Amino acid sequence: MQVFNTFFKIVKKQLPVTMIYVGIFLVLCVMMGSSQRDGAGSYTASSCTLVIVDHDKSEASGKLIDYLSGIHDVKYEEYTDEQIQDYLYYHKIDYVLYIEKDYGTTGELTNVKRPGTSVGIYVDNQIAMYEANMRALLTAGYSMEDAYALTLKALDSDGLVELSVGSAEKPTIYYYFSYVPYVIIMIMFFIITPVIVAFNKKDVNDRLNVSPITLRSKNMQIFLGAVIISIFVWILFIAMACLMGYSDFKDMLYKVALNSLGFTITGTAMATIVGNFGVSGDTKNIIANIAGLALCFLGGVFVPVSMFSKGMLAVAKFMPTYWYINTNDKIFEGGSMDDIAAGLGIELLFALAFFMVAAVVSKRMRTARSS
């Protein structure tokens, strides 16, 4: 069992980097889960401090001031130019609006914004939307009062954004299992790939070829080591999930366990392909990050598939991460095992395809080294 023992000696060297990824993952899961739940279903307009100087004193300017006063903290005192500059500098005010004479007919406005912030753009957009609505309604023949009332209704912050994240608020553990594919991919690349690269080096292969260890024995010992590592990683993440919130998914534990196991096998297969190409440490890190981020962004891990266009959705279905997320969603929506089996089966088919590719690559690289 010399190959098997060497396998775990190499794995041991990769544990510090692996544990860093695990720690970062846990922190991000808690943060993302909390932000998703806390921010779901509502939008609140932010209030800024405005100074408005009205040179027009017309009904139109009065309506604009009333609109902005309903959103922001508006200062009506008269300030000198020097005071305005000081207040902007010391962040006592964020935006100064000058309503020029004849605003009712020309619509002329000027402003001074606090530099280095997005507040100015925020207020500019609000004013632009207000004016566009008012202009359209007045052109259509509405009176100033009616146009103003309809504009307020159209721009009501309660109706601007409605975010739907499902029929019920999801627990933090849902986001844990949603994001776990990324860290599984990264861990497998950092653990499995270096082992396979080490055993595929020419000098190591030459020594093994003249030793009593057969090629079949070598491959079986590496395979056994990969299986043990995969099971260990899978158990680790299930155990951490139970510690974080077992009560939130105890009724579906076996379903999420099977789904995560399916993807762990897939991640192992992907790492095996890269390892058989004999990539160096730096190249391995680059490939791991590109593969992990690409699969997670295109597969619906980081961006919900509900936001994908038809073209993007078609691409996503070629990613194992898509089927993992699709299955995960069905699990937390109360789907039966029959509903989940299809997605799990597709994940395992991806794993089988990756292992077959890895075998072909291994044979080609072995032939190239011997020639």
CA nearest neighbour of 120 among 84, 86, 94: 94
Between 8-12, 107-111, 154-158, 233-237, the lowest mean confidence (pLDDT) is in: 154-158
Question: What is the average pLDDT score of the chain?
Answer: 82
Gap between the Cα atoms of 140 and 151, Å rounded: 13
Does residue 323 register a pLDDT over 90?
yes
* Tens-digit pLDDT profile for residues 256-281: 999 999 999 999 999 888 888 877 66
- CA distances 27 to 34, 232, 236, Å, are 11, 21, 16
Q: What is the 3-state secondary structure (H, E, C) of the chain?
A: CHHHHHHHHHHHHHHHHHHHHHHHHHHHHHHHHHHHHHCCCCCCCCCCEEEEEECCCCHHHHHHHHHHHCCCEEECCCCCHHHHHHHHHCCCCCEEEEECCCHHHHCCEEEEECCCCCHHHHHHHHHHHHHHHHHHHHHCCCCHHHHHHHHHHHCCHHHHCCCCCCCCCCCHHHHHHHHHHHHHHHHHHHHHHHHHHHHCCHHHHHHHHCCCCCHHHHHHHHHHHHHHHHHHHHHHHHHHHHHHHHHHCHHHHHHHHHHHHHHHHHHHHHHHHHHHCCCCHHHHHHHHHHHHHHHHHHCCCCCCHHHCCHHHHHHHCCCHHHHHHHHHHHHHCCCCHHHHHHHHHHHHHHHHHHHHHHHHHHHHHHHHHHC
Residue type, position 356, single letter: M
* Residue-level pLDDT at 70: 87
Identify any residues that bridge with 15 across adjacent strands, giving them in sequence order.
none
CA nearest neighbour of 268 among 330, 196, 371: 196
* Tens-digit pLDDT profile for residues 238-256: 998 888 777 777 888 889 9
Structure tokens at 254: 């076996």
Does residue 37 register a pLDDT over 60?
no
Helices 320-332 and 172-199: crossing angle, nearest 10°? 150
Question: pTM higher than 0.95, yes or no?
Answer: no
Gap between the Cα atoms of 75 and 79, Å rounded: 10
334: left (phi over 0), alpha (psi -120 to 50) or beta: left
* Residue-level pLDDT at 33: 55
Average pLDDT over residues 32-53: 62
Q: Which residue has the higher pLDDT, 255 or 367?
A: 255
What is the domain partition of the chain in residue ranges? 2-39+166-370, 49-160
Gap between the Cα atoms of 31 and 17, Å rounded: 21
* Residue-level pLDDT at 278: 72
Does residue 43 register a pLDDT over 50?
no
The confidence band for 371, taking pLDDT boundaries of 50, 70 and 90, is: low
Q: Which residue has the higher pLDDT, 91 or 262?
A: 262
The confidence band for 370, taking pLDDT boundaries of 50, 70 and 90, is: low
* Residue-level pLDDT at 46: 63
Neighbours of 82 (CB within 10 A): 8
Gap between the Cα atoms of 125 and 322, Å rounded: 37
* Tens-digit pLDDT profile for residues 181-220: 988 988 888 888 888 888 777 777 677 666 777 778 877 8
Q: Looking at the domain 49-160, which fold is it?
A: D-Maltodextrin-Binding Protein; domain 2 (3.40.190)
Percent of the chain at pLDDT above 70? 88
